[in-house]
Every structure is written in C-alpha cells, then in structure tokens.
Amino acid sequence: MNKVLAFLTCMLPLVYCVSAQAQEIPTAGQPPIVQDQSKLPHVVIVSMGGTIASRAKDRMNLTHYGDGPPVDPKDWLHDLPELQNVARVTTEDMRSKGGDKFGDIARVAHRLNELAKDPTIDGFVVTHGTNTMAEVAFYMNLVVNTDKPIVFVGSQRPWSGISGDGPLNMYDAVRVAADPDAKGLGVLHCMNQNINAARDVTKTSAYRVETFKGLDVGSLGFADPDKVKFYRAPVRKHTTESEFAGTDLKELPPVELFYSYTDAPGYVIDAAVQHGAKGLVIDGYGAGVPSPSQAKAMTRAQAKGVIIVITTRTRGGRVQEVPARAKAHDVNGDNLPPEKARLLLQLALTKTHDWTKIQQYFNTY
C-alpha cells in the first residue's frame, strides 16, 4: 500500500501538469481594432451571392446547402471584425433572384463602372458562385473601365460549414483589393491564398478548396499571412486598355458552344445556325480539332456569315496558328477555355463580323 501511495504521489504533479496545460489553450479572441478608420483604404464588397453567401442548418452540410438563411453582405462585416484593420469596408447587395443570366452580369458591370468613378473608393471585392465565377470575372476584365483593384472571391464550402474556406478567402480578397500593388493589374481572383488574373483562372475541381488555378501561366502572387505579394503582371490588355471598357450592354449576340468527341454530329451546329447563332465556339480535341461531321457543318455555317472560334478541350496549351485554319477563316481561341472565348466573341461581334479583326481581339485579350 505504501508503494502504491508513493507512486500516486509521484504521478500527481504530472497529471496536474497535463491538465493545466490543456486548460491553458487560449480561446479565440479578436485583435485590437484600428481606431482611426479614415486613414484606411475604402473597399466596397459587391455581393453577387454564391456559396460564400450561403448557409446550411447543419455545419457538416458542405454540398447541399441553402436550407439555412442566406448571408446578407453586412453579415460578413459582423462575422469578420478583422476586416476593420485592413480597410473601411462598405457593401452593395446585388444578388440575383433568378439564377445565372447575362442581365445580372450586365447590371453589376454597369454598377462597377459607376462606383469606379467615385474618388473615395480604392478597390472592390465581388463575391460570386464558383461555377461561373471565372467567366464573369473575365467579362468584367474587359468592360469595367478602372485601374482600381477588382477582386473576385467565393468559397467551396458554405459560410456555415465546418472548416469553411469563406472567411479567410473574404479576408484575403479585401487585403488584395486594399493593396496599392494590385492597382492596374485588371480584374483579379483570390481564393485559397492564390491571386490569379481573371483571364487565366479556371475552376479545376468541383468541391476541393484548391480548385482555382491558372493552368498555363500560374498565379500572379499570393495573399500570404504577413503580406500580399505579387510576382508578375498580366501582359494581355484589360480594363482601362480594353476597347470594350465602359461598355454598357443589355444583351449580347447569340454564340453557342460545341464539344468535340468521336463521331460528334454536325447537325446540332446546323440547328444552332438555323436558330440564329451569330458565332460558334468549337471546343476541339487535341490542339483544337473538330470531328469530321462538325467540320462540314462549320463550313456550312461560315457560308452564312457565322464566325467560328476554335478552343481546345485539353484546358492546357493554346490553339496554334496553322495555314489550314487561316484558309478556313477559323479564329484561334489561343488558350482561353470555351466559356471565356464565347464571351470575347460575343463582345467582338458587337464591333465587327470580320474574322481577321476578331482574330486580333483574341490575340490582344
């Protein structure tokens, strides 16, 4: 018995030490807030909704959310008081109530062009659903006439989700929009600490948080914990240098997309032309090759004045300039994915139907 008591006596300090150590783990606290907000950059968060603006009733519901109350833009300011140390943040609620449609994109583009004229605003953050975010950001990159930072952000998990990526993505996006080095770089995209150009970024995974990448060219920089760091700048024209800057369109010419695969039929192309398509984007296999049936339908479409752009379904590498394409008057889509090529072709068709001039647009933007 004495030996047991002696052993327990020896163990008590260790038990106490372990217990005390566990209790010393600090609870999360808020950092001191900058008192003089007037000296901070003014950043406007424009909400176009998306997963980052969604909640679920269950924290483990990461994919079928929407049954919880939506996130009002002011909720982000309440839930992330740390933003007050980065910028003076105000919000604009421009969420759509009818799903993805061009009218919503045009409405926000118009508003961004208006807000960009306000000398008291230094930058913008635009939230959007990740499914079509990259193409919408590219459209803004072409039509918004400002050198102020515009940073698109979203999340792969709802605001209510366990280990949600939304809060840090939002915090980093505001940091980038407030950073003077982001000025003049065009529309940017910031998620998972990566900063990409709107032209180059692509969603590569349905659910993973590391989904957005610049496949061919990589990131422009990173929102590291200590500072925002840029390593390169885009070389393609954008925003203030774009011929479409300040464009206020309510609709765009109809352009349809077609995916190439073994025995892909041409009759669907004929049907699109019959229904009024003014342009086609053919997402070819390999380096941009249509199926034989598609190729014949493309010739029939061009005879009716339809402009055709070729992209590649590989999502890496550019569609090269070869004599056969020039002879056929096919426009090389460079390394744009088809959804972005479609938007650029639609904008180009508001200016011209000359395929050589449209090729210049694809070489420029």
Catalytic residues: 51
CB 53 within 8 Å of CB 159: yes
Contacts (Cβ under 8 Å, ≥6 apart) of 351: 243, 357
Cβ-based neighbour number of residue 217 at 10 Å: 16
Q: 191: part of which helix (H) or strand (E)?
A: strand 187-191
**b vs e for 102-111, b when ≥16 Cβ sit within 10 Å of the residue's Cβ?**
bebbbebbbb
Place of tokens 């605003």: 121
Give the whole-angstrom CA distance, residue 207 versus residue 249.
33
Give the whole-angstrom CA distance, residue 336 versus residue 359.
13
Q: Quick one: the chain helix, strand, coil %, rounded to 5?
A: 35, 15, 45
How is the beta sheet containing 307-312 ordered, strand by strand? 255-259, 279-284, 307-312, 331-332
Amino acid at 13: P
Amino acid at 210: E
Question: DSSP string covering 104-155, please?
Answer: HHHHHHHHHHHHTT-TT--EEEEE--TTTHHHHHHHHHHH----S-EEEE--
Of 217, 253, 222, 257, nearest to 236 by C-alpha is 217
